[in-house]
Amino acid sequence: MDNLGSLFHGFGVALTWYHVALMLVGVLLGILVGVLPGLGAPNGVTILMPLTFTMDPVSAIILLTSMYWGALFGGSTTSILFNIPGEPSSVATTFDGHPMAKQGQAVEALSFAFLSAGFGALVGVIVITVLSGWVTRFALRFSSPEYFAVYFLAFASFIGLAGANPVKTLVSILLGFAFATVGMDTISGSLRLTFGFDELLRGISFLIVVIGLFGIGELLLTMEEGLKFEGVKAKVSLSGVLATLARLPRYWVALIRGSLVGVWMGITPGGPTAASFMSYGLAKRFSRRRANFGKGEPEGVIAPETADHGAGTAAMLPMLALGIPGSATAAVMMGGLMIWGLNPGPMLFIERPDFVWGLIASMYLGNVVAVVLVLATVPLFAAILRIPFAIIGPVIVVVCFIGAWTVGASKPDLWFAFFFGLVGYVFKKLDYPVAPLVLALVIGDKAEDAFRQSMLMSQGSLRIFYENPLVGTITTLAILLVTWPLWAMLIERVWGVRTARVQPVDLE
Amino acid sequence: MTERALVSRATMEIATALATGAAGAAVMWGSIEHDIGWGDSGPAAGYFPFRIGALIVLGSLANLGFALWGRHEHSVFVTAEQGKRVLAFALPILGFVIVSLFLGMYLGTILYLFFVMVFQGGYGPIRALALGIAVAVAMRLIFPLWFKVPLLIGPLEAWLGLY
């Protein structure tokens, strides 16, 4: 097990006072970001990103990933206490978590949520530890055609599996690719799609797009609902948490099923939001206690929470090993990696083992830290939510625009952030998924390069995508997935079977 | 839905499909400045964007078709009440961006928070001003002083000699 050896080396990197302190700061900031509606994990990580440009990459990624874990946890607090999901991925937690809280079981609901989330995250990290060696060895055989095929597969799975309208998903992905081509072309050096505006020479930063789509857009949606926070008070005590922990093994089926769904959806770019809905749906269909679902059933909290966190952590595997982010937040981090001068992909494991294994080790620690911190700080963050939104909302707006400015100290970026905020608002209301747009924006250049290099290798023949069994299999899978909506329609027509579809949710 | 619709969902679907279609057309138009075919070194600079743009136009046309002829319940995109709330939130943001561009982010923040708290939140002017200044001070401490990331400043800061 050379992975185990690498992992211990990683613990050596992660277990310094500085890094543990960064973990604490990251998790706390993350919980704050997760608790506040309008500030989600992708957006929070984006705003923090420019501050890490001067840091050492290992420290930076530990800070940012810890923030991600904190945000995933924080989102559940508001779901349970206030019935308002702080994160899109904790929507499914409201179904049973809030009823539990209203019945006076707030502490149980919170403890179940955080402990099972911690379990899901742990399974995710273990899967990364075990699989990463194998995935990288596999990926080392990849050259440009294989890479393009894998990118194609990633986007095909959005169209085929996400459950959102496939044409809208397609348009969203393509817009992301189009924004990615703005600015200097990396191969020919020519300036593309700038329409004569000097402001567009540097291209459109994915960080600005995320701040707009996920920050301002989300805030506009929140305001539209005119929300009021009327929460349930909860006092978390150690004995209450321990009593819940003792009851947790009874739900082992939900725990394992949720983790598996989560890991699967994290590795294939489904993301935590889709994972939590899918896991909740499965639990509701197969549980012995399904009659209680929606009325405050602990299993209805455990199922989405394990999947949510399993997916959040597992999304790091394809990001590190293949350079394909499994969620919007992972996409932002991957963009960060490239800014820090690291090249995600199998070579990263060989060239920078300290970075990769330090990160993986920090994921074990960070999630344990997050479970403890989130339980300890429930009253604090619940109190923050009692501050009227007339104050919190505008302060979040200011933070978003500060984030937009620090990306590149450029004035047009403020306009872009505002513009993408409006786009995000309209897109979310019309069920255009925005996560695929961000993913396409981040890997757009890489996908184009892979395609052009493949075309150079084959002198323009598309047959290179069927040149060997490996690339052929990936390409075939991708084509099947892209056309899946058509197949599903055909199956329904011919056999009259309704194919299972995931709830149409926007992917985090 | 008994509430009055300000904009119906169908209208917005059509408008969005037209907007994405226009974006696709703009991408195509922008890429024909370059060679969209095959250069000496494989696909030229315009090759990829041109096809992306064309696909966006096709996808948008499909969405337009769905919006025009698809089945849709007469659902609401935004009610008058919601529209008012969104505008009440979005317009001050627009003001904040414009003021920040001319006067810098510190003054922009103070004015923005003051405005929304006094005129929308119903707070007293003293509290609103205090919070605005507190946030501006926090911004200054965290960004330029602690992380060495300067924020957008205006003529006032320049005159005071703050970077």
DSSP A321-339: HHS--SSHHHHHHHHHHHH
Three-state DSSP at A39 gives coil
Amino acid at A390: A
Question: Does A193 contact B31 at a Cβ distance shorter than 8 Å?
Answer: yes
Determine how many CB atoms are found less than 10 A away from the CB of residue A5.
10
Higher pLDDT, A99 or B158: A99
Give the total number of structural domains in chain B: 2
Mean pLDDT in residue range A178-203 = 80
Q: A136 near A321, Cβ under 8 Å?
A: yes
What is residue A241's predicted lDDT score, i.e. its pLDDT? 84
Mean pLDDT in residue range A246-266 = 90
Q: How far is CA B144 from CA A51, A191, A406, in A?
A: 11, 33, 10
- State the burial class of residue A266 (Cβ atoms within 10 Å of its Cβ: 0-12, 13-18, 19+): buried
What is residue A257's predicted lDDT score, i.e. its pLDDT? 93
Mean pLDDT in residue range A23-31 = 94
Residues of A in contact with B121 (CB under 8 A): 388, 390-391
The answer to whether residue A504 scores a pLDDT higher than 60 is: no
Mean pLDDT in residue range A365-372 = 92
Mean pLDDT in residue range A446-461 = 85
The answer to whether residue A423 scores a pLDDT higher than 90 is: yes
Q: Is A505 left (phi over 0), alpha (psi -120 to 50) or beta?
A: beta
Q: How far is CA A501 from CA A53, A152, A247, A474, B145, in A?
A: 41, 22, 32, 23, 52
Residue at which a domain ends, from B24, B40, B74:
B74
Residues of A in contact with B55 (CB under 8 A): 170, 174
Question: What are the tokens at A268?
Answer: 């294939």
Q: Which of B55, B96, B121 sits opposite A391 (nearest CB)?
A: B121
Give A37's DSSP letter: T
> What gap in Å lies between CA A449 and CA A460, rounded to an integer?
14
Helix spans in A140-236 (H):
144-161, 166-181, 206-210, 217-224
Q: How far is CA A257 from CA A28, A95, A287, A307, A377, in A?
A: 29, 18, 11, 8, 29
Q: How far is CA A459 from CA A87, A186, B18, B38, in A?
A: 47, 20, 37, 10
Q: Is A177 on the interface with B (CB under 8 A)?
A: yes
Three-state DSSP at A231 gives coil
Residues of A in contact with B151 (CB under 8 A): 402, 405-406
> What gap in Å lies between CA A319 and CA A330, rounded to an integer?
7
- B60 and B85 in a common domain: no
- B92 and B60 in a common domain: no
- B154 and B105 in a common domain: yes
Mean pLDDT for chain B?
Answer: 88
Question: Does A460 contact B38 at a Cβ distance shorter than 8 Å?
Answer: yes
- B56 and B98 in a common domain: no
Angle in degrees, CA A166, A172, A174, rounded to 5: 105
Mean pLDDT in residue range A244-265 = 90
The answer to whether residue A500 scores a pLDDT higher than 50 is: no
- B51 and B115 in a common domain: no
Angle between helices A57-82 and A17-35 (to 10 degrees): 30
What is residue A138's predicted lDDT score, i.e. its pLDDT? 85
- B9 and B59 in a common domain: yes
What is residue A408's predicted lDDT score, i.e. its pLDDT? 85
Determine how many CB atoms are found less than 10 A away from the CB of residue A167.
20
Q: Is A183 left (phi over 0), alpha (psi -120 to 50) or beta?
A: left
- B126 and B69 in a common domain: no
Q: A484 near A159, Cβ under 8 Å?
A: yes
In which domain, by residue range, is B55 found? 5-74
- B130 and B105 in a common domain: yes
Mean pLDDT for chain A?
Answer: 86
Please list the residues that pair with A192 across neighbouring strands.
A183
What is residue A458's predicted lDDT score, i.e. its pLDDT? 84
Q: Which has the closest alpha carbon to A296: A23, A466, A108?
A: A108
Angle in degrees, CA A194, A199, A202, rounded to 5: 75
Question: Does B53 contact A178 at a Cβ distance shorter than 8 Å?
Answer: yes
pLDDT tens-digit map of A135-190: 888 888 888 899 999 888 888 888 876 667 889 999 999 999 999 988 877 777 77
- B27 and B89 in a common domain: no
Instruction: Report the relative pairing of strands B42-43 and A191-192 from DSSP bridges.
Output: unpaired
> What gap in Å lies between CA A147 and CA B92, rounded to an integer?
45
pLDDT tens-digit map of B82-111: 898 899 999 999 999 999 999 999 999 999
- B136 and B115 in a common domain: yes
Question: What are the tokens at A448?
Answer: 């184009």
Q: How far is CA A122 from CA A109, A119, A238, A314, A379, in A?
A: 20, 5, 22, 10, 25
Mean pLDDT in residue range B8-29 = 93
- B61 and B22 in a common domain: yes
Q: Which has the closest alpha carbon to A197: A437, A416, A445, A50?
A: A416
* Span of A113-122, A311-320, A385-394 with lowest mean pLDDT: A385-394
Three-state DSSP at B123 gives coil
Model-level ipTM above the cut of 0.90: yes
What is residue A1's predicted lDDT score, i.e. its pLDDT? 52
Q: Which of B34, B63, B82 sits opposite A224 (nearest CB)?
A: B82
Q: Is A418 on the interface with B (CB under 8 A)?
A: yes
Question: Does B86 contact A224 at a Cβ distance shorter than 8 Å?
Answer: yes
Q: A259 near A123, Cβ under 8 Å?
A: yes
Length of chain A: 508
What is residue A162's predicted lDDT score, i.e. its pLDDT? 64
- State the burial class of residue A61 (Cβ atoms within 10 Å of its Cβ: 0-12, 13-18, 19+): buried
Question: What are the tokens at B16?
Answer: 């969005």
> What gap in Å lies between CA B35 and CA A364, rounded to an integer?
50
The answer to whether residue B7 scores a pLDDT higher than 90 is: no
Element (H, E) at A309: helix A298-314
Higher pLDDT, A247 or A234: A247
Question: Does B56 contact A54 at a Cβ distance shorter than 8 Å?
Answer: no
What is residue A496's predicted lDDT score, i.e. its pLDDT? 67
- B88 and B66 in a common domain: no
- Best mutation target among B11, B81, B89 (most A Cβ atoms within 10 Å) is B89
Q: A49 near A336, Cβ under 8 Å?
A: yes
The answer to whether residue A427 scores a pLDDT higher than 80 is: yes
Q: Which of B47, B88, B100 sits opposite A401 (nearest CB)?
A: B100
> What gap in Å lies between CA A195 and CA A208, rounded to an integer?
20
Q: Which of B52, B60, B112 sits opposite A177 (nearest CB)?
A: B52
> What gap in Å lies between CA B15 and CA B23, rounded to an integer?
12
pLDDT tens-digit map of A404-415: 999 888 899 999
Q: Which of A174, A216, A394 sits opposite B116 (nearest CB)?
A: A394
Please list the residues that pair with B8 across neighbouring strands.
B76
Angle between helices A411-429 and A389-408 (to 10 degrees): 130
Instruction: Report the relative pairing of strands A183-184 and A191-192 from DSSP bridges.
Output: antiparallel
The answer to whether residue B1 scores a pLDDT higher than 70 is: no
> What gap in Å lies between CA B19 and CA A193, rounded to an integer?
17
